[in-house]
């Protein structure tokens, strides 16, 4: 009897957490959501930072499709129109869950939500969007998803790089407003990102 969709989802999420934490040498913290109203399977932040989080929707397939000599990863999913969110801090993680080797196949894909929602063959049916993520796993592939391919061992490092890029490109109004809070001392890290220290008595 094959594993259920619920089991598949949980296993993929747990493997994602392992890859993110071990692949970043412990620099990343990952929190699973108790509820999923925002379609966030996992929130990821750099340990010790409280300003920038990445949200991940995690999806997998337990079978590959053959396309000539190359395997293809195909993952179809639907999203209610009212719940579709495209945001620079929202990413998809797509992977092949190899139930024989008991691991995620190589490569996996970390894709911005904006790219998925534009290019994963979107179709609106009534109040529901349907998407189909189809990516070649061939080492010589030149399809649209090649820039988002990641070796499983590099997942943590890729997420750290994404966070660093977002920190450079995004303003931090929450941090700026917090500077005015009484009894709070803030320091600037070498990266230029403001991070909180322990509150100091006024």
Residues 49 and 141 grouped into a single domain: yes
In three state form, how does the secondary structure of the chain look?
Answer: CCCCHHHHHHHHHHHHHHHHHHHCCCCEEEEECCCCCCCCCEEEEECCCCCCCEEEEEEEECCCEEECCEEEEEEEEEEEHHHCCCCCCEEEEEEEEECCCCEECCCEEEEEHHHHHHHCCCEEECCEEEEEEEEECCCCCCCCCHHHEECHHHHHHHHHHHHHHHHHHCCCHHHHHHCCCCCCCEEECCCCCEEECCCCCC
- What is the model's pTM? 0.81
pLDDT of residue 170: 77
Residues 140 and 60 grouped into a single domain: yes
Domain count within the chain: 2
Residues 149 and 65 grouped into a single domain: yes
- Give pLDDT tens digits for 89-133: 999 999 999 999 999 999 999 999 999 999 999 999 999 999 999
Residues 145 and 117 grouped into a single domain: yes
Residues 143 and 196 grouped into a single domain: no
Residues 181 and 165 grouped into a single domain: no
Range of the domain at 151: 5-170
Residues 62 and 92 grouped into a single domain: yes
- Give pLDDT tens digits for 32-85: 887 666 788 999 999 998 889 999 999 999 999 987 778 999 999 999 998 999
- pLDDT above 80 for 144: yes
Residues 116 and 18 grouped into a single domain: yes
Q: Please report, rounded to a whole number, the percentage of residues in the chain having pLDDT higher than 90.
A: 71
Residues 176 and 105 grouped into a single domain: no
pLDDT of residue 39: 82
Identify the CATH number of the domain in which residue 18 sits: 3.40.1350.10
Residues 97 and 136 grouped into a single domain: yes
Residues 164 and 177 grouped into a single domain: no
Residues 178 and 90 grouped into a single domain: no
């Amino acid at each position: 009897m094959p594993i259920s969709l619920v089991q598949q989802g949980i296993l993929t999420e747990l493997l994602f957490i392992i890859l993110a934490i071990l692949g970043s040498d412990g620099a990343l913290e990952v929190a699973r959501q108790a509820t999923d109203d925002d379609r966030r399977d996992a929130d990821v932040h750099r340990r010790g930072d409280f300003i920038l989080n990445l949200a991940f929707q995690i999806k997998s397939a337990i079978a590959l499709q053959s396309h000539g000599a190359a395997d293809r990863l195909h993952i179809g999913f639907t999203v209610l129109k009212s719940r579709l969110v495209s945001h620079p801090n929202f990413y998809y993680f797509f992977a092949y869950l190899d139930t024989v080797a008991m691991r995620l196949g190589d490569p996996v894909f970390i894709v911005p939500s904006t790219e998925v929602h534009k290019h994963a063959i979107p179709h609106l049916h009534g109040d529901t969007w349907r998407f189909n993520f189809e990516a070649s796993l061939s080492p010589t592939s030149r399809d649209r998803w090649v820039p988002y391919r990641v070796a499983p061992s590099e997942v943590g490092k890729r997420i750290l790089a994404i966070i660093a890029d977002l920190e450079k490109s995004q303003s931090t109004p929450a941090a700026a407003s917090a500077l005015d809070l009484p009894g709070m001392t803030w320091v600037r890290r070498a990266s230029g990102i403001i991070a909180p220290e322990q509150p100091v008595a006024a």
